[in-house]
Amino acid sequence: MGSQWGRDRFYRKARTEGYRSRAAYKLLDIQKRFQVIRDDDNVIDLGCAPGSWLQVLRELTEGQVIGIDLNPIVPIENVTALKGDFTTEHMHEKVRALIPEANVIVCDAAPKLSGHKSYDQARAVDLSEMALDFALDFLKPGGNFVVKTFQGDMFHLILKKMRDNFYGVKVYRSKAARKGSAEVYIIGKKFKGRQNDSEG
């Protein structure tokens, strides 16, 4: 499998340009198409390891950049990396101590895959919904949210919840995604605010 990834042009490009993984080009692609991040935005990256999205975020904004992951992150200059579970109240308190609200929240996290397609898709949608719940707690009204998920039986549930909470919602498959991957990104623009949260 190593040789397969070695032939991938985004993998090679990442190594040449100093990004920690090929995923950097997914965020750059999303930013070019949807302009989700402005140059003064405070941004939180959920499930940020190994840190390629943090590298891109640091280039795109002069605001605060915070990353959260269960795994430790090799430090990036002027980026705050927190080790822990972004779903816990303890982590919420740590984030609030740094910034009470964010302009943008992004999540490129994916669960460890088992190889069972329907199970993996369900777990991925569950993870993306947890990221959405975090965003509903921390986004400023008018803020933007980008989350990776996988198309499958439960996809419509998170899509509905996104549409309930954002004025603009798009589903996008990045040009940098691997061939055959079921991953897509849901981009939510202009958060309606917490008074419009949906229970569904």
Lookup result for tokens 């397969």: 4
Residue 69 annotated as binding site: yes
Extract the tokens encoding 198.
């949906």
In 3D space, the residue among 176, 166, 170, 171 whose CA is nearest the CA of residue 141 turns out to be 166
Residue 197 annotated as binding site: no
Based on the residue annotation, tell me whether 148 is a catalytic residue of this protein. yes
* DSSP per-residue codes, 92-157: HHHHHHH-S-EEEEEE---PPP-S-HHHHHHHHHHHHHHHHHHHHHHEEEEEEEEEEEE-STTHHH
Residue 153 annotated as binding site: no
Rounded CA separation 26/33 (Å)? 11
Rounded CA separation 163/37 (Å)? 20
* DSSP bridge partners of 183: 150
Of the candidates 32, 140, 148, 175, the residue annotated as catalytic is: 148
> Residue 184, SS3?
strand
> Residue 72, SS3?
coil
Residue 67 annotated as binding site: no
Residue 126 annotated as binding site: no
The catalytic site residues sit at 148
Annotated binding site for S-adenosyl-L-methionine: 51, 53, 69, 85, 108
Residue numbers in the known binding site are 51, 53, 69, 85, 108
